[in-house]
Amino acid sequence: MYALSKVTRTDQARALGLSTFAFTTCFAVWTIFSIIGVKIKGELGLTDTQFGLLVATPVLTGSISRIFLGIWTEQFGGRIIFPLQMLITAVAVWLLTSVHSYPIFLLAALGLGLAGGSFIVGVAYVSRWFEKDRQGTALGIFGAGNVGAAVTNFAAPFLVVALGWQGTAKVYAIVLAIIAVLFFVFAKTDPVHLERKRSGEGPVSTSAQLAPLKNMQVWRFSIYYFFVFGGFVALASFLPRYYVGAYGLELTTAGVFAGLYSLPGSIFRALGGWMSDKWGARAVMYLTFIVSLICLFFLSYPTTAYTISGIHEPISFNFGVSLHVFVALTIALGFVMSLGKAAVYKHIPVYYPHHVGAVGGLVGMIGGLGGFFLPVAFGMLLDATGVWTAPFMLLFAIVAISTVWMHVVIRKMEHRRHPALADERYLSDLPDHPLGAPTSRAKTMSDTTGVNTTGRPTAR
């Protein structure tokens, strides 16, 4: 499809390599407040509420921007939108160094948040270069660029010591601008937009791009991503506080244990993409949800003291999750969440190959909003219940609802499409798994989504 027969392995490697490098840099910029924010708070004399809003603004705008950045990428191509988005972000980062009032800092943070929107730009661009059976792996490798957060955690503190926070922001802005130029120079126009130019077809309208958002399936994918990405971001920020409060650890030790959770959530996303290609994204989602439910059940269980009326005297004992078991459970949880993040985005180009930007943008936006709202919900639960494990109870409920919803929909769908196979292969993705002839699979997908997903651009 999309004239991929003319695309070489070199073209694919170029698109994937440049996009992953650019996304890694954008993600490093997106998390820069985790290092320089404390310095800014001290200089401006901000309250905790003002500081929280300043730090949260990039996360919020980075999530909301994904929907329109995805649409624009579908319309004008990643080779144009990606460097443009990076240049605008670089200006916003530079602006940080020249302002002294809180409202202007918020404005700069609003622009800086565009760095988080780079994810959907890369997804829409990279997916155009790869065949269906390799898209999961490619998007998984691209998604591993969120290791840029670790780059900031390791490198930015040394830059702050040497150059101050203003100098650090300038370095980030300059590097991002340079990469934007390099991307535009060395990247190629993707096959879809080349075909549009050849045929004289104009950009797809915004209304056409938004059409699939009427499908409940798209919102179901968004709920999945709300947990696997939004929950991941929320836990990454919550765990240090939890370790200090629940287990009485020093902040440095708590940070190391929290890092053991975060690291698998970054580096194993590529594995999740490969697994989605090999066994189907649906099977990976089942694995993610089932393991998450097991982990969250034990993480949710508060330390409890029991007293039993014995024959001779009361018998008392305590039950709770030890520190080492807790750390192991969070590592397992982070690992399967990384697989789930890749699996969700494997679904999108399979079901909506002509609407990756709009659908992926909505899914990414909902996931990002999870990273914004869940920490707030965690705090409210702690205040209301006084139980440290209450946030894990909330996550358990979200996963349980998602699992039941997914399973019920899948069983209904398979009984409707393939009654003979309903009890055999429900873990497989019907669209991207060889359950039948390509033509029948394409018809099935179109009947379900209401979108032409035959793999060939319409009106071409």
The reply to whether 209 falls in a domain is no
Residues 6+ apart with CB under 8 A from 81: 69, 72, 73, 121
83: enclosing H helix or E strand: helix 78-95
> What local confidence, expressed as pLDDT, does residue 209 receive?
65
* Distance, CA of 90 to CA of 92 (rounded, Å): 5
Contact between 29 and 89 (Cβ < 8 Å): yes
Q: What residues pair up with 315 in beta bridges, in sequence order?
A: 308
* pLDDT, tens digit, 9 for 90 and up, residues 215-250: 788 888 889 999 998 888 788 777 877 888 888 888
Statement to judge: residues 115 and 176 lie in one domain: yes
The reply to whether 227 falls in a domain is no
The reply to whether 218 falls in a domain is no
pLDDT over 80 (residue 197) = no
- Vertex 292: Cα angle to 237 and 67 (nearest 5): 60
Torsion angles phi and psi, residue 375, rounded to 5? -60, -35
Statement to judge: residues 385 and 250 lie in one domain: yes
Q: Which of 152, 185, 204 is the last residue of a domain?
A: 204
Query: Which range, of 68-82, 305-319, 403-417, averages the lowest pLDDT?
Result: 305-319
> What local confidence, expressed as pLDDT, does residue 336 receive?
94
pLDDT over 70 (residue 459) = no
> What local confidence, expressed as pLDDT, does residue 429 receive?
44
Which letter does DSSP use for residue 304 in this model? E
Structural domain containing residue 289:
233-455
> Structurally, how many domains does the chain consist of?
2
* Distance, CA of 228 to CA of 398 (rounded, Å): 11
Q: What residues pair up with 307 in beta bridges, in sequence order?
A: 316
Please report, for the domain that includes residue 417, its CATH number.
1.20.1250.20
Contact between 399 and 86 (Cβ < 8 Å): no
Torsion angles phi and psi, residue 221, rounded to 5? -60, -35
Statement to judge: residues 171 and 316 lie in one domain: no
Q: Which of 155, 184, 204 is the last residue of a domain?
A: 204
Torsion angles phi and psi, residue 308, rounded to 5? -110, 135
The residue-averaged pLDDT of 110-114 equals 89
Statement to judge: residues 31 and 179 lie in one domain: yes
Got the DSSP string for 39-80?
HHHHHHT--HHHHHHHHHHHHHHHHHHHHHHHHHHHHH-HHH
> What local confidence, expressed as pLDDT, does residue 182 receive?
96
Statement to judge: residues 49 and 178 lie in one domain: yes
Statement to judge: residues 291 and 373 lie in one domain: yes
The reply to whether 212 falls in a domain is no
Can you tell me which residue has the tokens 């998390």?
Answer: 31
pLDDT over 70 (residue 159) = yes
Statement to judge: residues 66 and 162 lie in one domain: yes
> What local confidence, expressed as pLDDT, does residue 460 receive?
33
> What local confidence, expressed as pLDDT, does residue 255 receive?
73
The reply to whether 444 falls in a domain is yes
Statement to judge: residues 179 and 87 lie in one domain: yes
Residue 18: what residue type?
Answer: L
Torsion angles phi and psi, residue 117, rounded to 5? -75, -10
The reply to whether 4 falls in a domain is yes
> What local confidence, expressed as pLDDT, does residue 422 receive?
41
Statement to judge: residues 248 and 377 lie in one domain: yes
Distances (CA, A) of 263 to 147, 197, 430: 8, 42, 32
Q: Exposed (0-12), middle (13-18) or buried (19+): which is 40, by Cβ within 10 Å?
A: buried
> What local confidence, expressed as pLDDT, does residue 293 receive?
96
Statement to judge: residues 328 and 200 lie in one domain: no
Contact between 277 and 349 (Cβ < 8 Å): no
Handedness of CA 227, 229, 235, 237 (dihedral sign): negative
Statement to judge: residues 242 and 309 lie in one domain: yes
Statement to judge: residues 32 and 135 lie in one domain: yes
Q: Which of 185, 204, 223 is the last residue of a domain?
A: 204
* pLDDT, tens digit, 9 for 90 and up, residues 310-326: 777 787 767 778 899 99
